Structure 1
Amino acid sequence: MASNEASREATAPMIFHCRLIPPRPDFAFTMTEEERTLMGRHADYLRSKLREGVMIMAGPVADPAGPWGLLILRVGSEAEARAVTDGDPVVRSGRGFRYEILPMISTIM
C-alpha cells in the first residue's frame, strides 16, 4: 500500500505560481493599441489552457509597485509549466514580458 501512495504522489500534478512581469511598471495603464491586441491573444491563449485543464486561474494583480499577471497552473513538472509560459503570445512577442515560475509547497483546494 505504501508503494501505491508513493507512486500516486510521484505522478500527482503539481501547482505552480507563475508571475507575468510586463515590460514596464505602468504597462497596464499605458498600453498601445498593438499591445492591447497582443493582450487579447494572451487572454485567448490562457482560456485555451483553462479548457485543457492545465490552468486553474489567471488575472492581473493590483500591486502598488505596478500591476503584474498571476497564472496558476496544474501540471506534472516545472518543465511543463515552462512550456506553457514559453508558449504564451506575450512571451513569444519578444517585447520584454517574462514569467517567474515557483512551485507551491502545498495547496488547499
Structure 2
Amino acid sequence: MASADEADATKAPKIFHCRLIPPRPDFAFTMTDEERALMGRHADYLRAKLREGIMIMAGPVADPAGPWGLLILRAGSEAEARAVTDADPVARSGRGFRYEILPMLSVIM
C-alpha cells in the first residue's frame, strides 16, 4: 500500500513544456495586423491562465531557425495540459499554429 506522501506525489500537478510552433518560421517578423490582434488575444488568454495558477511562464524564444513560443504549465495530466493549449485562441484560429507538449521529468523551483 502506498504511503500518504507517495499518494500525494501521484496527485501532485505535473509541469509541462509546451512549444507553440507558428504557421511560418518568420511569423514573429511578418505578422499582419489581423495576426497581431490574434496574438493579443493569445496573450490575454495566457495572462488569465497565469492568474488561475495554471501557467508558470510564457514567452517567445529567439531560435535561430525561427522564433517559437514557450509555455510552461502546471497540470494534473497531459490531457489537462492539452485542454489548455487546445483552448488557446491561436490554436483555435485555424491559421496553422500547433503545440508540442512534453512532460518535465523533474523540476527545480
Shorter-chain TM-score: what band?
Answer: over 0.9
Matched residue, 1:69: 69
Matched residue, 2:16: 16
Q: Map residues 15-94 of structure 1 onto 2, 5 A cutoff.
A: 15-94=15-94
The CA deviation at 1:16 is 0.1
Gaps of 5+ in 2: none
Alpha-carbon distance between aligned partners in 2 of 1:98 and 1:48, rounded to the nearest angstrom? 20
Matched residue, 1:3: 3
Normalising by the residue count of structure 1, what TM-score does the alignment of the two structures yield? 0.98
Q: Deviations over 1:36-88 (max 9, x none)?
A: 00000000000000000000000000000000000000010000000000000
Normalising by the residue count of structure 2, what TM-score does the alignment of the two structures yield? 0.98
Gaps of 5+ in 1: none
Alpha-carbon distance between aligned partners in 2 of 1:19 and 1:10, rounded to the nearest angstrom? 25
Could you say what secondary structure the match of 1:108 adopts?
Answer: coil
Alpha-carbon distance between aligned partners in 2 of 1:10 and 1:67, rounded to the nearest angstrom? 35
Name segments (4+ residues, structure 1) moved above 3 Å: none
Provide the aligned C-alpha RMSD in A. Answer: 1.1
Percent identity of the aligned residues? Answer: 83
Alpha-carbon distance between aligned partners in 2 of 1:80 and 1:22, rounded to the nearest angstrom? 22
